[in-house]
Amino acid sequence: MKAICVILFLLGFSLASQAQEQQIDSLEGKKVVLDEVFVSAIRANKESPVTFSNFTKEQIRPRNLGQDIPILMNFLPSVVTTSDAGAGVGYTGIRVRGSDATRVNVTINGIPYNDSESHGTFWVNMPDFASSTENLQLQRGVGTSTNGAGAFGASLNILTDAVSEEAYAQISSSAGSFNTLRNNIKFSTGLLNDHVEISGRLSRITSDGYIDRASSELDSYFLQGAYKDDNTLIKALLFGGHEITYQAWYGIDKATLDTDRTFNPSGIYTDENGATQFYDNEVDNYKQDHAQLLWYERWNTNWSSNLALHYTHGRGYFEQFREDDDFATYGFTPIMVDGAEVSTTDLIRRRWLDNDFYGAVFSANYSADKLNLILGGGYNKYEGGHFGEVIWARFAGESNIRDRYYDDVSTKTDLNIYAKANYALSDRLNFYGDLQYRTVGYQANGDDTGLVDDTFNFFNPKAGVTYNLNAKSNLYLSFAIANREPNRNDYENGNPKPERLSDIELGWRYVAPWITLNANGYYMGYKDQLVLTGELNDVGAPLRANVGDSYRMGLEVDAAIRFDEKFTWRPNVALSTNKNRDFVFQRDGVLQNLGNTNIAFSPDLVVGNWFTYSPMETLQISFLSKYVGKQYMGNIDSENSVLEAYSHLDFNLQYLWEINGFIESITLSGMVNNIFNEDIVSNGYFFTFDDDFSNPGTVTTIEGAGFYPQAGTNFLLGATVRF
């Protein structure tokens, strides 16, 4: 099974040559929805020398049964996804070209979504958000200038639901393995008086998870008011979510992986009788609410503008049972019990986040016959509180209720301005230029970060050309520089440096009625790249460290082929090499130059396939396969850090029953994941430490690893009733 995706890919390309063209098409593509004006300033198109993939709601809908957006994106080129709970509900993650989620810039309607401090994207805070997504674009590499932290592997921009001209209401439910249940309701008033629309969604998802006790209780909402006329589109949005998930980020060691794949050590402790117990409320509990006000205006035939104001409030905690913790950690005073001094205790603690993120982004667009010019930018500010509380302790010294054993505040400001221009030098040749200036200020005073007061000033130029070979195909070449600041966790390792990326992209696009094909090569050269070390901090977040010089180089090919009206095939393959140059590591007390080593979590081969057969317009049957090659979880090429190659085959079915009465239609969907029940481990961690106690006078480097197994064969079934 591990080679099935590669075999299918090669077989498909031999068949692709048999696909026949029956009419002439061009690179112009399909008509876009009006709402895409809100993301046009940061999106790429056929004239952009940028590597990208678009993913529409029509492609999302058949598999949208409650899993997170990263899991739904799993079959896009160079994408690798993972799930802490093992089944795509709860905490999920995405990597693109080997770059983890902290290096993938995410925007929603052009507004930054990445957490300002950690740079992470926590999709669990927006459960069922795919149900309110019109489309998304994944740009690989540096991409175009955008808002928020710079893209160091990819940028993902999401457009939320477009204005619906017709009124509707719908109810969706899905259920499946691990007691997973998703229910949502959606509605739209349609256009009232041809100008105003109100729409919304309420969702609830629950799941036990594949991993023991990795349960999820997820609630979310989405409310939109819109006004439009010939030259104006205004949208006001409120959306957010509340998640309660049992912690599943500890992973398991190799021995446990072989004997008890679903074991979860979270919450484990020994009671007074010596029996092993698990604390029943070892949960992450977090709420996040977003408000956006979007205004698009077309001033004349040449000029248009976008302005967006936004505010996000997040607050919540994760709760832990701690066994025999030191009083000193919590500022407790040792006490005497039965004549003996007590300085440790069992306790339950909560570690809180309480943060606000707000600002504005803008753009102005000038479009003429040969020139398309965009001027834009934004200013955003983050204010975050970090504090900890002990809510119960067997012995609490002289502490008082609601005492905070740590309490620190951090702030971050982010100002960027950019100018982008695409100029047609001739009917065939287009020049693209993109200049961005970004300044970032970060202050923190936590025990983990130390005192931080840093300011970063970045200049990010990009340039490229696109050459139209004919109406169906073009070539593009670009060079881009991106700079990026460290995140909060990087300061735990000392005094991190900002990182710098130089990205070269060379590609070819071909578009015809029966086939579209994209092929591109890239070279991404890094200075002081903050690569994943493989280790986790005490809250399960990946740690990174500067590594000097490193690079990622690869070839990506993706296609969409229609063999006839009923059969479509979408393959993609990504071949790459990802190296640290002259990597230095201290082993057994001796500093060693290991030469060029593999960058952590960067497989050399990623293959995806998507076969769809539609025997009738109302029925769609799909087989989706994924192959991810061998990865190292650290940067020293240790066999103890290997994640073995894996593959899986999924089945997806959708049937539309059109009634055209009070009930307009009923859509039935089904999905079987990992049909062949493969043992998949998609993520993990790796650590080393020096042992100088076992053999006095010598230092021995000890290695260890943890793994996150994914579910075997599992299913989801759903129905959507539309009125």
Note whether 462 and 433 are within 8 A (CB): yes
In angstroms, the CA 145 to CA 153 distance is: 13
The continuous run of DSSP H or E covering 330 comes out as: helix 327-330
**What's the whole-number mean pLDDT along residues 47-74?**
94
Is residue 173 over pLDDT 60? yes
The DSSP result for 548-564, as a single string, is SEEEEEEEEEEEEEESS
Residue 167 is given by DSSP the state -
Biggest CA–CA distance in the chain, Å, is 92
Give the helix/strand (H/E) hosting 20. Answer: none
SS in 3 state form for 689-714?
Answer: EEECCCCCCCCEEEEEEEEEECCCCE
Classify residue 142 by its DSSP letter: S
Q: Are strands 268-270 and 303-326 parallel, antiparallel or unpaired?
A: unpaired
Q: What share of the chain is helix, strand, coil (3-state, %, to 5)?
A: 10, 60, 35
pLDDT, position 152: 87
- The range of the structural domain enclosing residue 61 comes to 4-722
Give per-residue pLDDT as tens, 178-212: 999 999 999 999 999 999 999 999 999 999 999 99
For residue 11, pLDDT beyond 50 = no
| Site of tokens 């993109």 | 434
User: pLDDT at residue 12 above 80?
Assistant: no
Average pLDDT over residues 600-617: 96
Who contacts 663 (Cβ-Cβ below 8 Å, separation ≥6)? 721, 722, 723
Within 10 A of 464 (CB to CB), how many other CB atoms are there? 22
Paired tokens of 323: 């066994």
- Please, how many CA atoms are within 13 Å of residue 212, restricted to the half-sphere of its CB? 15
Apex CA 208: angle with CA 312 and CA 283, to 5°?
50
What does the pLDDT average to over 534-546?
A: 88
Residue 358 exposure: Cα atoms within 13 Å on the Cβ side: 8
Tell me the HSE value of 141 on the side-chain side, using a 13 A CA sphere.
Answer: 30
3-state secondary structure 273-321: CCCEEECCCCEEEEEEEEEEEEEEEECCCCEEEEEEEEEEEEEEEEEEE
Bigger pLDDT: 692 or 530?
530
Q: What is the pLDDT of residues 619-659, one digit of tens each?
A: 999 999 999 999 999 999 999 999 999 999 999 999 999 99
Q: Tell me how many domains the chain contains.
A: 1
Alpha carbons 644 and 681: distance in angstroms, whole number: 8
Output the average pLDDT for the chain: 92
Q: What is the mean pLDDT of residues 389-413?
A: 91
More confident residue, 603 or 23: 603
- State how far Cα 58 lies from the chain centre: 20
CATH number (domain holding residue 574): 2.40.170.20
Distance CA 45, CA 374 (A): 14
The pLDDT of residue 693: 66
Is pLDDT at 27 greater than 90 in this prediction? no
The answer on pLDDT for 129 being more than 80 is yes
Give me the pLDDT at residue 493, please: 77
Token reading at 328: 């000193």
The pTM of the whole model exceeds 0.85 = yes
- Across 494-604, the runs of DSSP E, i.e. the strands, are 499-511, 515-527, 530-536, 542-546, 549-562, 567-580, 584-587, 590-593, 597-598
Are residues 675 and 712 in contact, defined by beta-carbon separation less than 8 angstroms?
Answer: no
| Structure letter (DSSP) for residue 488 | G
* Four-CA torsion 28, 29, 31, 34, nearest 10 degrees: -90
Closest CA to 146 of 506, 420, 526: 420
* Predicted local confidence at residue 4, as pLDDT: 42
Dump strand ranges (E) for 19-68: 51-56
Tell me: the pLDDT tens digits for 61-105? 999 999 999 999 999 999 999 999 999 999 999 999 999 999 999
Residue 324 φ/ψ region, left for φ over 0, alpha for ψ in the -120 to 50 degree band, beta for the rest: left
